[in-house]
Amino acid sequence: MTDQYDVVVIGGGPGGYVAAIRAAQLGLKTACIDRMTSGAGKGAPGGTCLNVGCIPSKALLDSSEQYEAARGALAAHGIKVADVTLDLAAMLKRKDKIVSDLTGGVATLFKANKIDYYHGHGTLHAGRKVTVAPANGGGKKEISAEHVILASGSEPMPLPSVPFDHEVVVDSTGALSFGVVPGKLGVIGAGVIGLELGSVWRRLGSEVVILEALDSLLPTADAHIARDAAKQFKKQGLDIRLGAKVTGAKVDGGKCTVAYESGGESHELTVDRLIVAIGRRAFTDNLFDDGLGIERDRRGFIEVDDHNATGMDKVWAVGDAVRGPMLAHKASEEGVAVAERIAGHKAHVDFNTVPWVIYTHPEIAWVGRTEKELKDDGVPVATGMFPFAVNGRAKAMNDTGGLVKIVAHAETDRILGVHIVGPRASELIAEAVLAMEYRASSEDLARTIHAHPTLSEVVHEAALAVGGRALHKAN
């Protein structure tokens, strides 16, 4: 007998499991299918983010930052630590425990919300029938649904000229579990993933060289932010080589020699480990049958309308598998919106206020559009910038690099973009997101009282600077 559901979600990442929880909260009989498997061979809902992405990478970023501080940065605070040693195995064990705690937490939420969880691969067929191939083997099970949400996520993008051997040449997943700190580490790609992973292993002792095919660093970020970040990365010892187009790689004797072209010349780089981090692509393998009316665009993303509906009736798609930024919080908001629309409520996602964060040190975060984008579209803008260097809290933390930049409409003063590089940028950006959601002006932020001494005062001063009246710097 085929089990019948109101909603079946295929994929248990931040888009899928959140959609399932919200659907269940709204009184819909819900099932979630996810094939992610833990090292112990058990189901591990949470998707790439919880298992091999956002969470483990942030755990290592924080651990590596603590290690680097103990090796020298604490001395500025009058704290002297002798004989600092690295226990990499313990660090990785801590990372793994955080992952298992959180994936276990998702499983607990499924039970609490009476969501049926299937550990396996789901495939959609005509009539919204779904077959589940169990992850640990066994016969397939068929279930059916009134609505189906496709939330299959994404996977690391391979570079054809640099095949993985998953030992010396790895993707972002492999880079989270090196058994030893590489003496020399190569990273292909200076995007979010490449910069974060390069930062982790540099702090732990690797000599890191990042090869980026583009001629500029972080081209999607505001130019002022990207330039400031580049200076700070260089001071830290990250060797970022722009305009470096990789043409091949060869593994021999436990090392990898990477061939690349730069400035019209051919070069080689020999490293102990190589991370390929050139981006991610939608994962839709065996997700649905052909001929159902569900289409993919030229980049492989499932085509959806403004409300995430596909071309098949009552079938939706969210997260990394569809257009828009590949961000966990964007996927979650889409999942919630779809669940609410299924239940008959009005819901939408405002892509203009999706925040971006890069968890390097300093952190980089932004929301909205850059000054260049706006000017290219003929939008008159006024900008205000303020550095962390003169902020009392930043000085107390001994963490004064970076700045906040606010871009507002020159005529209406509405905030159109906020860009931050500096300490706790990932937290500070929330104020900017809220301001833009409420369509605030820079004057609104300038007239909002910010506690002293806090890092948020830099946001306040940047808002004041839009009108040429910053208090703690010359205008």
At 458, list the tokens: 């830099």
Describe the crossing of helices 54-71 and 192-203 by its angle, rounded to 10 degrees: 40
Handedness of CA 302, 246, 421, 419 (dihedral sign): negative
Pick from 4, 19, 7: which is nearest to 347 by CA?
A: 19
User: Residues near 373 by Cβ (< 8 Å), separated by ≥ 6?
Assistant: none
Q: For the chain, what's the residue count? A: 475
Partners of 132 in beta bridges: 122, 141
348 noted as active-site residue: no
Pick from 61, 50, 329, 47: which is nearest to 195 by CA?
A: 61
Q: CA 28 from chain center: how many Å?
A: 30
Query: What's phi and psi for 247, nearest 5 deg?
Result: -110, -15
Q: CA–CA separation, 245 vs 84, rounded Å?
A: 38
Edge to edge, the sheet with strand 255-262 lists 245-252, 255-262, 265-271
At 54, list the tokens: 């956002």
At 188, list the tokens: 């292909």
Query: What's phi and psi for 286, nearest 5 deg?
Result: 50, 35
Q: CB count, 10 Å around CB of 203?
A: 24
326 half-sphere exposure, CB direction, 13 A CA radius = 22
Pick from 218, 189, 188, 185: which is nearest to 202 by CA?
A: 185
Q: Helices H, strands E: what count in the chain?
A: 12, 21
**Dihedral class, residue 166 (left if φ above 0, else alpha if ψ from -120 to 50, else beta):** left
Active-site choice (329, 452, 460, 472): 452
Q: How far is CA 85 from CA 81, 90, 200, 205, in A?
A: 11, 12, 16, 11
Q: What amino acid positions are annotated as catalytic residues?
A: 452
